[in-house]
Amino acid sequence: MPRYLLSVYQPDGPVPAPDILGAIMRDVGAVRDEMKAAGVWVFAAGLLPATSATVVRAKDGRMLTTDGPFVEGKEHIGGFTIVNVPDLDAALEWGRKVARATTLPIEVRPMQEGHA
């Protein structure tokens, strides 16, 4: 079955107050449990802030290392989930559940098949 990457796009800056964040984490946990129960959950992770990111690239035979995320912006990927579902409609349905739980936009993107 095709796999899809559901990426959470999170605004940079301070995290929500503990009570709000707590409720969000509870809802996100509930969606994860639902995914596991449905047998579609493959992997998920939350990421530390984009300010902690580093970019390395090969240039003219040398490696270049720079501070910060690759794309400058006000929002960055804050976490992701990989699901294994039959088609885009099913992936979008899970994406909507994650969007409701996180209160953030979710990018749903198919993964290449046939590669581990």
Partner 1 sequence: MAVLVRLTGDIPLAEEAVQDAFAIALERWPAGGVPPSPGGWIISTARNRAIDRLRREQTRDQRHEEADRLLARDESIEDSAEDPTMLDDRLRLIFTCCHPALSLEAQVALTLRLLGGLTTAEIARAFLVPEATMAQRLVRAKGKIRDARIPYRVPESHDFDERLSGVLAVIYLVFNEGYAASAGESLMRDELCAEAIRLGRVLRSLLPEQSEVAGLLALMLLIQSRRAARIDADGALVPLGEQDRSRWERPLIEEGQTLVRECLRRNTPCPYQILAAINAVHADAAMTSDTDWRQILELYDQLMTFGASDVVRLNRAIAVAEVEGPAAALAIIDRLELDGYHLLHATRAEMLARLGLEAEAGREYERAIALTQNEVERAFLRGRLRRSTLA
Provide the binding-site residues for partner 1, judged by CB under 8 A.
Answer: 2, 86-89, 92, 108-110, 113-114
User: 33 vs 93, which CB is nearer to partner 1?
Assistant: 93
Complex with partner 1: residue 26 or 100, whichever CB lies closer: 100
- Decide: residue 66, CB within 10 A, 0-12 exposed, 13-18 middle, 19+ buried: exposed
Tell me how far apart the alpha carbons of residues 73 and 55 are, in angstroms, rounded to a whole number: 15
Shortest Å, Cβ 4 to partner 1: 8
Of 84, 75, 76, 72, residue with least CA distance to 113: 84
Distance of closest approach, residue 78 Cβ to partner 1, in angstroms: 22
Report the residue number, 1 or 23, with the smaller CB distance to partner 1.
1
CB of 96 to partner 1, least distance (A): 11
Question: What are the backbone dihedrals phi and psi of residue 3, each rounded to the nearest 5 degrees, phi first?
Answer: -110, 150
